[in-house]
Structure 1
Amino acid sequence: MKKLGIILSVSTLLTLSLVSCKEKQPETLRPVTTEIDGTLGALYELVEEDYKFPEHSNEFEFKVKRNELEGHSYSKIGVGYEVYDKNGKVLVSEMHPSLEDISSWAPIPFDVMELKSGEIGTMSIRLKDWPDKYAGAKTFKLILESNINEESTINANSSSSSDNDWDALLDDYEALVNEYDKFLTEMKSGNMDSQSAMNALAEAQAMQEKLDGSKSEMNSKQIKRLGKIVTKLTKIAAKSATIKTNDIKSVNGVNLKDLGLQ
C-alpha cells in the first residue's frame, strides 16, 4: 500500500511537471521588425509596442504609421503575417495572402488608406488556427500585398487614364446630385419643378448603380469619394419628405395663384 502511494505521488509530480512545462498562450505579441513586406509595405511601418493577444476571438489588432511616400492606385489588397516563438521558430505562417476587393475589405479601413505622413491608424488580422498554435508566441511580422503591377510607381502625381475616367464620372455623378439638391431647394421655397427634380434623381441613381458595380476598378480615394456622394444624395433625398403642399407656390413655372388654386 505504501509502495502504491509512492507510485501515485511520483505520477502526480510528473503530471504537474509536464503541465508547468507546457507553453501558455501569449499575453502580447511584439513586431519582430517595424518594416512591412509586400507591394504596399513601403507605404506603412508597424508601430513598435506590445499588442494584446486576442482572448475571445481571432481578431488581432495593431497600429501602423504612414511614411512619407504618397499613395497610388490599387483595387485589391491582402494582409499576411508570420508568428514566431522566443527562439524565432515560425509557429504560424500566412505570407501569401489572397487579394480581396478593397470595397469589402475590413482589416484595412479607409481611414488607414488615407493616412497622411506620420499619422497612425489601427488595422487587424484574423489569426488562422487560433488559439491552438500560438502557445509560446512572442513576435510577429506583417506583409501587405496589392494588385499594383510592376510598372506602377509610388507617386501621388502619377495617375492612369483609367483613374482619370473614373474621376470624370464621379464629377458627373456629383454634379447630378447637386442639381437634384437645387431642384429640391427650389421646391421647398415654393417653386415646384417636379419633372426636372425627378429626371435629375433618376440620372443620379442610374449613375450610382454603374459606379457601385465598378468599385473593383477604382482606387481607394475614388471609392471613398463615391461613398461620400452616395451619403450626400441620401441626405438630400430626405428633404423631399419635408416639403409641404401649402409651401408650393408654382408648378413648373406656372403660378398657382394666377390659376385660382391658392
Structure 2
Amino acid sequence: MRKSILVFGLVALLTSCVGSKKAESLTAKPETTEVKGALKGCYEVIQKDYTIKENGSWGHLISVELKRTDKELPFDPQKATSFSVSEDGKPIQVGFGIELLDENGDVVEIKNANASGIGGAYSSDDIEAAIQLNTDETGIVRWTINADNKPFTFRITSAMEGSTSTSNVSEEKTSSSNDWDSILDDYETYIDKYIKLYKKAKNGDMDALTEYSALLEKAQSLADKLSKAQSDFKPAQASRFLKLQQKLANAALE
C-alpha cells in the first residue's frame, strides 16, 4: 500500500479548488532572544528581522533561526522526537512554539509548542533537526501564521514531555499498536473531516486549505500505522478499511 494513495491522494484536488491569496510584505523581529519554557537556556533566537513569506495556497510562513547553546539538554537527543511524531524507542517529545504580537505588544496569534498541524510547527522535520543540533549550530523552525494580524514582534516557546525510562512507554506502544479498531476509527474521522474541507474548497473557501494543514501531521501518522496494521487485520477490519478507502476515493467524484 502506498501512503500517497492511502491518505494524500486527494490533496492535489483540494489545493486546485481555490487560488492563492496575496498580502503585503511583512517582517517581524524577536521580542527577546530567549526561548521560553522547558528548553530555556538550551536554545536562543538569532536576532534579526524575519520576513513573513506567502506560502502559496497554504497562507504565510515565518522561518525563525534558533541557535543551540552550550547548556546541556534535559533529555537524550537520540531518544527524543517531535510532538507530531510517535516512534518506538523515543519516549521524549519536544516542540517549539511561537507567540506573535502586534505593534501595541498585544498577542495576536499563538502556535503552541506541544501542538502539531496548524496549531504547532509547520513541519516535524524542523523540530527533529533542532533536537540534533550541536553547540553553536543553528536550525530553522517554521510556522504557518495569519498575516492579516500584522505581527510586529514574536517570542519563541518550548515544551517537553515524556520519561527517560523506556520500559513503560514501550509496553504502552505495543498495546496501542494492536488496537486496529481504534486506528480505523481515527482514519474514518480523518476522512470525514477531509471530505468536509474538500467541499468547502470546491465552493472557493480559502479557509479550507488552512484548516487542512492541521490534518497533515495526523494523516502521516495514520499512514504509518495503517501500513503496519494491514497484515494483522481481521476479516471485518479489512472489510471496513476497504470501505473507508472507497469513501475517500468517492469524494473526488462528487
TM-score (norm 2): 0.42
Rg (Cα) greater in structure: 1
Determine which structure has greater relative contact order: mean sequence separation of CA pairs < 8 Å that are 6+ residues apart, divided by chain length.
Answer: 2
